[in-house]
Amino acid sequence: METQTRKFEILRYRPEEQSEPEFRSYEVPCMPDWVVLDALNAIKDDIDPTLSHRWSCRMGVCGSCGMLVNGRPVLTCAAFVRDYEGTIRVEPLSNFPIVRDLVVELDDFVHKIQSVKPWIVRKLEKDVEQGEYRQSPAQLEEFKQFSMCINCALCYAACPVLASEPDFVGPAAIALGHRYNLDSRDEGNAERYDAMHGHNGVWSCSYANECSQVCPKHVDPAMAVNQAKLTGALQWTGILPKKSMT
Amino acid sequence: MEVIEHDILLVGGGGAGLRAAIAACEASPDVSVGMVSKLYPMRSHTVSAEGGAAGVARDDDSLELHIQDTLKGSDYLADQDVVEVFVDAAHKELTQLEHWGCPWSREPDGRVSVRFFGGMSVKRTWYATDKTGFHMLHTLFQTSLKYDRIVRYDEYFATRLLVRDGVCRGVAAFDLRTGEVKCFLGRAVILATGGGGRIFPFTTNAAVKTGDGMSLAYRAGVALKDMEFVQYHPTGLPGTGILITEASRGEGGHLKNKHGERFLVEYDYGVGDRAELGPRDMISRAEILEFEAGRGLRGPYGDYVHLDLRHLGEQKIDQRIPFVRELARNYVGIDPVWEPIPVRPVVHYMMGGVDTDVDGATPGVEGLYAAGEVACVSINGANRLGSNSLPECLVFGKRSGEAAVAYASQGASEGPREALVGQAQAEEARLDALRHKVGGEKIAQIRRELNSAMEQGCGVFREEDSMAACVDSVRQLKGRYADIGIGDSSRIFNTEIVQALELGNLLDVAEAVAVGALARRESRGAHTRRDYPERNDADYLRHSLVRFAADGPRLDYRDVTITRWQPQERKY
């Protein structure tokens, strides 16, 4: 297979040396089956060892390598060079502070994930010796889609609400909280109510649907947010109890 | 220098590390756990495991059968007392994950569903479609968030165990975000950093799998055990090495050569009626022999065979192995509903690792534990059965977490603080010097040559000359590594420093693999020699142990523990 030289413009920011981020251009010989991540690794290995970016599994499941490619949030391990024409522009995810180059600060994202209490809450825990909880395929289907989130944060980069309201708990966290609320084994939705339905919860969402557009795993967080709005409203009015959803 | 103290320190936050952290918290109401990981826990390589996790679940199965299958799969190199402990606990741990919310696939009656896997004589592999590792890891990570006592140090790279007089009481690690080296002190340290498949060029392993914990323990005086046993998975995508799960065969997929023959059935490769449900080492060998017989297909990345799923039909593929379809479509442009998938053997897993006992404790260094792929406990022997590694992370993660707490609370001393902090300060000086290092060698170049040497010398089939050349090459590369130059002297998120340190770890691990392989003059499990094609129990029913010494590794052996099951010829 023959390589084709492609031009990349990469946003570089090394805070010890630069006051502002700036684009730098690289000419990279690319194999026809390369993804954008391959080109970044080629730059790192053979052109400029000072480039910093995160990556690990290179198969779209660890969630490390999300960046903006030509302005759109994508996993760079699943974005093929051949699908872009002309110069390819790579930037760190928007709506996050830049640590360096293509690396953004994720602590706030992880805190938001934690804030919805994404674990099974039960009044009485069953002993392991008593075996599994029975859960029908239909009950599993209720929440399965929302359990597919890989925490890549592309939806946070795409969300127009987060651009202006940084405290919004955000699509991935709401989808995850909703996932546990829908799980037949869980009894914790009252404990999640404040994080999900409080000041920075679902009601901040303006339903731009950008999150679902960019989600690489088809989690459809916008649908989770809107389902959560409905159940939250029914709970608030007392039509649905807060505790036993199922 | 900032000194951070916890009762228990974890290095690594994947399946084994998270399970250990939770177990430590549950074992004691006031224990504090510090979790040092070079990546956010949910990025850990456990996430890439696809097909499933083995645990006895059905009436047609038994602990005895799971033990027998595991021992036979291991080519009798597994320690039988440890396998008994493992099998007894595996299904309980999978049930525990179920209670914590893991979305296991289900039967119509609501019970957890199980599937066939290679070398397992009945259906006993629990699965969450074909993203089992992903769901297990996220379930563990999310469950760990319940515990305020688990304090995470995400994106901290551990570079040295702090050991004084044979007692481990801490670890030096730097914060990637600031470059600052910190001294972590604790009464016990658990390594859960995974394997080191990245010593090879063509591997399913994520970029982070650089043998860090193996090198840390090795340099601290613990032996690396059975390192010569490297598992090739029979179904990796050519080029990228991305894993196509064994579940695709467990669900009924066929392997075919260029004539469209099911070669495992047509030719005698020792797997007999089991065919595609044979163990990984045997099927990987069969694929190479097909290539050598001229019955492989030719592609830009070398020979390959076909994994044919077409007869399963679209509905079953989408229901049971949707990720296989997604990966094949994305990365090789093939829809397995309509076309067979090109696959070839790919480095997948290291049976060997840090020598530990059944509780994860490392002989020789008190206070140090290891669990998961980094460790060799050993349940996998010369060849791990698919779907035993995920429960291994759980069972031995839990046991080491509990054992570390018991050790720490039974009067383990605090350790000589000044001496330990001094070691961390020496590490800080070493890393400062590394950031400004001038030299003529390039990291990427040495890594490529190392990868090539390992592939040449320690592939599916091995022989004396090529292994000896591999040992020499690795030694020369170690020499050249001392002369690497660093182009990036900055502190903030300096990934060139990370790569330099990872390369040092890869070189340690590669040398142990090559030295162990050269010395084992027999064929057993994944270690297959053309010059010694038979298993030799009289001389080699023993674990190899490679120890660090300044002038090169030292090798010795320890007998395998045999309890009730006498080694037999391995035929399927």
CATH number belonging to the domain at A107-236, selected among 1.10.1060.10, 3.40.50.12500, 3.40.50.1000, 3.40.50.10800 = 1.10.1060.10
A218-228 pLDDT, tens digit each: 999 999 999 99
Residue B78's nearest CA partner among B534, B562, B529 is B562
Beta strands B368-370 and B188-191 are: parallel
Interface probe with A: pick from B39, B145, B494, B499, most Cβ of A within 10 Å:
B145
Residue B377's nearest CA partner among B395, B364, B365 is B395
Question: CA B233, A61, B377, B79: dihedral to nearest 10 degrees?
Answer: -40
B145-203 pLDDT, tens digit each: 999 999 999 999 999 999 999 999 999 999 999 999 999 999 999 999 999 999 999 99
Q: Pull the structure tokens for residue B218.
A: 């090795």
Q: Pull the structure tokens for residue B174.
A: 């730097």
Amino acid at B215: S
Whether A243 has a pLDDT exceeding 80, the answer reads no
Helix axes A221-236, A189-197, angle to 10 degrees: 110
Q: Span B6-30, mean pLDDT?
A: 97
B293-327 pLDDT, tens digit each: 999 999 999 999 999 999 999 999 999 999 999 99
> In chain A, whose CA is at the least distance from the CA of B443?
A45
B455-504 pLDDT, tens digit each: 999 999 999 999 999 999 999 999 999 999 999 999 999 999 999 999 99
CB atoms within 10 A of CB B262: 14
**Yes or no, beta carbons of B444 and A110 under 8 Å apart:** no
Q: Tell me, which fold does domain B231-348 have in CATH?
A: Flavocytochrome C3; Chain A, domain 1 (3.90.700)
Q: What is the DSSP code (8-state) at residue B182?
A: E
Partners of residue A137 in chain B, C-beta under 8 Å: 106-108
B514-557 pLDDT, tens digit each: 999 999 999 999 999 999 999 999 999 999 999 999 999 999 99
Q: Pull the structure tokens for residue B439.
A: 């030299």
Q: Is-contact A193 A243, C-beta < 8 A?
A: no
Burial track B188-208 (b if 16+ CB lie within 10 A, e otherwise): bbbbbbbbbbbbbebbbbbbb
Beta bridge partners of B303: B298
Q: Pull the structure tokens for residue B430.
A: 């070493």
Give every CB contact of residue B422 below 8 A, 6+ residues apart in sequence.
none
Per the listing, tokens 């825990």 go with: A125
Beta bridge partners of B236: B243, B344
Q: Say how far apart CA A28 and CA A67 lie, in whole Å.
A: 18
B91-116 pLDDT, tens digit each: 999 999 999 999 999 999 999 999 99
Whether B78 has a pLDDT exceeding 70, the answer reads yes
Whether A149 has a pLDDT exceeding 80, the answer reads yes
Whether A40 has a pLDDT exceeding 90, the answer reads yes
Q: What is the pLDDT of residue B415?
A: 73
Alpha helices in A116-220 (DSSP H): 137-144, 154-158, 160-164, 171-181, 189-197, 210-214
Q: What is the pLDDT of residue A93?
A: 98
CATH number belonging to the domain at A4-104, selected among 3.10.20.30, 3.90.950.20, 3.40.50.2300, 3.20.20.150 = 3.10.20.30
Q: Is-contact B257 B305, C-beta < 8 A?
A: yes
Q: Say how far apart CA B257 and CA B307 lie, in whole Å.
A: 9
Amino acid at B103: P
Q: What is the pLDDT of residue B273?
A: 82
Identify the burial level of B55 via C-beta atoms within 10 angstroms of its C-beta, where 0-12 means exposed, 13-18 middle and 19 or more buried: buried
Phi, psi (5° rounding) for residue B355? -65, 120
Q: Say how far apart CA B404 and CA B401 lie, in whole Å.
A: 5
CATH 3.90.700.10 intervals, chain B: 231-348
Q: Which run of H or E residues covers position B319? A: helix B313-320
> So what CATH class is B3-230+349-416?
alpha beta
A75-117 pLDDT, tens digit each: 999 999 999 999 999 999 999 999 999 999 999 999 999 999 9
Give every CB contact of residue A85 below 8 A, 6+ residues apart in sequence.
none
Interface predicted TM-score (ipTM) = 0.97
Whether B414 has a pLDDT exceeding 80, the answer reads no
- From the list B98, B331, B488, the residue facing A132 with the nearest CB is B98
B37-74 pLDDT, tens digit each: 999 999 999 999 999 999 999 999 999 999 999 999 99
Whether A246 has a pLDDT exceeding 60, the answer reads no
Q: Span B387-397, mean pLDDT?
A: 98
Q: Span B266-290, mean pLDDT?
A: 94
Domain edges within chain A = 4-104, 107-236
pLDDT confidence of B429, banded at 50, 70, 90?
Answer: very high
DSSP B81-150: HHHHHHHHHHHHHHHHHHHTT----B-TTSPBPEE--TT-SSS-EE-STT-HHHHHHHHHHHHHTT-TTE
Q: What is the pLDDT of residue A245?
A: 44
Cα B355 from chain centroid? 14
Amino acid at A135: Q
User: Is B103 touching A (CB cutoff 8 A)?
Assistant: yes
- List B residues 40-69 in contact with A (Cβ-Cβ < 8 A): 40, 42-45, 47-48
pLDDT confidence of A236, banded at 50, 70, 90?
Answer: confident
Beta bridge partners of B154: B37
Partners of residue A63 in chain B, C-beta under 8 Å: 42-43, 47
Average pLDDT across chain A, whole number: 95
> In chain B, whose CA is at the least distance from the CA of A79?
B330
